[in-house]
Amino acid sequence: MIGHLRNATRRLHQAAPYLGKAVGATVAVGAFGAAASLSLASCEGIDANLVGRLENAISRIEAMADNKDYDTSVDAALIAKYSKSSDAYVADCIAKICAAKTSDPSNITAALFSLKYFDSLSPADQKAFAMCINSGAQNADSGMGSYAMNPGDYDKFNPFFSRVIAFYHKVPRGTKHVTDWNLKGVEGLPADGNLDLTRLGLPALSMRVRVGRNLADYPLPGAMTAADRLRMEQKMCGAFEKLKDQYGGRYHSLTPGHPDFINEEEYKALVKGHKMFKDMADDTYLADAGIASDWPVGRGCYVSGDGGFIIWVGEEDHLRIMCMARGTILNQVFDRLKGALDTVESIEGLTFAHSDTYGYVTSCPTNLGTGMRASVHLKCPNLTRDGTDDKCKAVCKPLGLSVRGLGGEHTPIGADGTVDISPSARFCIKEAEIITALYKGISLLVEEEKKA
C-alpha cells in the first residue's frame, strides 16, 4: 500500500508543471482531496478505496500533462474569427464550447477543445467536428459533451478524441482495447465460476447486461438522414426474421406505415415493461447531437419469445443488444448475451463498427470498447433513507459503480429504495471483468447497506 502511495506521489510531481488548466485544477482538487482523506485514514490504517481514488485522479492528471503540444486556451483573435463564421451552426457551437470552458470546467469536451486545432481543419471537417461537440456546447452541464457522428471520427479527430478518451477512461493515450468474454482466471471469480447472488445473502434480482453496437456501413445516429434510418431498420428486419427461428418473438416498429408498426398504447406498455426506450427528443443531450432527429422514424425493438433477449433499433447507438432475467446467477444473462451476440454477428451483411484501438465503436466516447453495461436492481433502504441516492452514489463511486434510477439514466430511484447498480468502466477492461466487478461491487455494497 505504501508502495502505491509513493508511486502515486512521484507521478503527481511529474505531472505538476502542467496543471494550469481548468480540468487539471478540478482533478488536482480531487487528488488532493483523496490524499488528504488518505493521510487521515493512515492514522486508522490505510483504506484501499482511497488509494484507488488517488491513483484514478493521478491518471487523469497524467492525461492532462500529455497536452504540452495541444493548446486548449482561448485565443481572442480566433474566437472573433469563428464568431463571425457564415455558418451560424459553427459560430454558435464554437462560441458556446469556449464559454463552457470557464462556466463548466467538468465538461470534458469543453475543457479539451482546442480552438487552434479546430482552426487547422478544413471547412468541411470543421463542420463535421462542430457536429461532434455540439451537444456539449448547447448543454454546458454535460459530463462528456461529445458524440462521434461517423465510426471514423475517433481517428479523424484523433488529437481531440484520443485526449477525451484517455481522460474519461483514465488510461494513457493510445491504449488499445482488448475484447475478452472468457471468465476463466478473472480476479474475484468464485472457484466454481458462478457469480451467485445467494452467496451474498440476496434473493432473485432483476439482472441485465447490454452492449451498444453500430453497423459499419452507416453514419452513426447523429449524422443519419431519415432515409438512412429507414434503410438501417429495414436491414435489421431481415436479421430479425433469422433470429425469430431461434428465439421466437417479434419486432415492434415505431415507423409510421411499417408492417410491424405498434400504436401509442402498445409503445407505452413496452416502455413501462423496460423493453423499449423512451422518446429520445426529451433528452436534450441526444437532441442537440442530432441523435434524436426524425423521431420516431426507423426506431423499434425486437423482443424474443420469452422477453429476455431484446434489441433496440435507432437509439443512441444503431443497436443496443441486451439480455435480462430475474434470477440469482449473473452468468445466466452474461452467457446468454454472448451467445445471442455471436448469432447476430454471424448473420450475413451485418458488420459491427470496430476499431483496432477503441474496440467496438459507439456514439458516445463513454461507451467505447465493450459498450457494455451490466446491472442489477438492488434494494438499499438504509442508504436511501433520505429519499435520494446521494449516499448510495457516495458509497458506490470509490467502488467503481454507477447508480441510476429504475427508468435508466437521469431517472429517480424506486420508492422502496431500489437502485440500479452497474460497474462504470467500459473501455480497456474485459467483458468478463465487468460482470465480475458487478458481483464484487454488489457484495461490497451489501456490506455498506448493513452498516448504514
Which residues have a Cβ under 8 Å from the Cβ of 130 and sit 6 or more positions away?
Answer: 89, 90, 93, 94
x/- letters, 226..255, toward ligand ARG (CB under 6 A): ------------------------------
285 is a contact residue toward ligand ARG (CB under 6 A): yes
The answer to whether residue 409 is catalytic is yes
366 is a contact residue toward ligand ARG (CB under 6 A): yes
Nearer to ligand ARG, 54 or 164 (CB): 164
Stretch that binds ligand ARG, among 81-89, 141-149, 250-258, 371-379 (CB under 6 A): 141-149
Nearer to ligand ARG, 82 or 285 (CB): 285
Nearer to ligand ARG, 49 or 135 (CB): 135
Nearer to ligand ARG, 72 or 366 (CB): 366
Which residue among 93, 132, 364, 392 is the active-site one?
364
The span from the CA of 6 to the CA of 28, in Å, is 17
The answer to whether residue 364 is catalytic is yes
370 is a contact residue toward ligand ARG (CB under 6 A): no
Stretch that binds ligand ARG, among 66-74, 326-334, 336-344, 363-371 (CB under 6 A): 363-371
The span from the CA of 143 to the CA of 373, in Å, is 18
Which residue among 320, 328, 384, 428 is the active-site one?
320
Angle at 210 between CA 196 and CA 238, to 5 degrees: 130
By CB atoms closer than 10 A (0-12, 13-18, 19+), residue 406 is middle
The answer to whether residue 213 is catalytic is no
Stretch that binds ligand ARG, among 140-148, 197-205, 338-346, 425-433 (CB under 6 A): 140-148
The answer to whether residue 316 is catalytic is yes
φ, ψ of residue 104 to 5 degrees: the values are -135, 75
The answer to whether residue 366 is catalytic is yes
Binder to ligand ARG among 56, 85, 126, 135 (CB under 6 A)? 135
Which residue among 53, 208, 210, 229 is the active-site one?
210
The answer to whether residue 208 is catalytic is no
Which residue shows C-alpha cell 442489477? 376
Count the neighbouring beta carbons within 10 Å of the beta carbon of residue 146: 31
The answer to whether the beta carbons of residues 51 and 5 sit under 8 Å apart is yes
Which residues have a Cβ under 8 Å from the Cβ of 355 and sit 6 or more positions away?
Answer: 151, 154, 155, 361
The span from the CA of 75 to the CA of 71, in Å, is 10
Least Cβ distance, residue 290 to ligand ARG (angstroms): 13
149 is a contact residue toward ligand ARG (CB under 6 A): no
Query: Which residues is 376 bridged to in the sheet?
Result: 207, 421
Least Cβ distance, residue 366 to ligand ARG (angstroms): 5
Nearer to ligand ARG, 363 or 384 (CB): 363
- How is residue 405 written as a grid cell? 434510477
The span from the CA of 384 to the CA of 373, in Å, is 23
The answer to whether residue 55 is catalytic is no
Nearer to ligand ARG, 168 or 251 (CB): 168
The answer to whether the beta carbons of residues 428 and 370 sit under 8 Å apart is no
Which residues have a Cβ under 8 Å from the Cβ of 84 and sit 6 or more positions away?
Answer: 91
144 is a contact residue toward ligand ARG (CB under 6 A): yes
- How is residue 31 written as a grid cell? 487528488
The answer to whether the beta carbons of residues 21 and 72 sit under 8 Å apart is yes
Which residue among 62, 233, 315, 316 is the active-site one?
316
142 is a contact residue toward ligand ARG (CB under 6 A): yes
Which residue shows C-alpha cell 502542467? 18
Count the neighbouring beta carbons within 10 Å of the beta carbon of residue 187: 8
364 is a contact residue toward ligand ARG (CB under 6 A): yes
Report which of 132, 111, 110 is spatially closest to residue 121, judged by C-alpha positions.
Answer: 132
Counting residues that bind ligand ARG (by CB under 6 A) gives: 11
Concatenated DSSP letters for 290-339? TTTTTTTTT-EEEE-TTS-EEEEESSSSSEEEEEEEEESBHHHHHHHHHH
Give Cα 278 to chain centroid, integer Å.
18
409 is a contact residue toward ligand ARG (CB under 6 A): yes
28 is a contact residue toward ligand ARG (CB under 6 A): no
143 is a contact residue toward ligand ARG (CB under 6 A): yes
Least Cβ distance, residue 364 to ligand ARG (angstroms): 3
Per CB under 6 A, residues contacting ligand ARG are 135, 142-145, 285, 316, 364, 366-367, 409
Positions marked catalytic: 210, 316, 320, 364, 366, 373, 404, 409
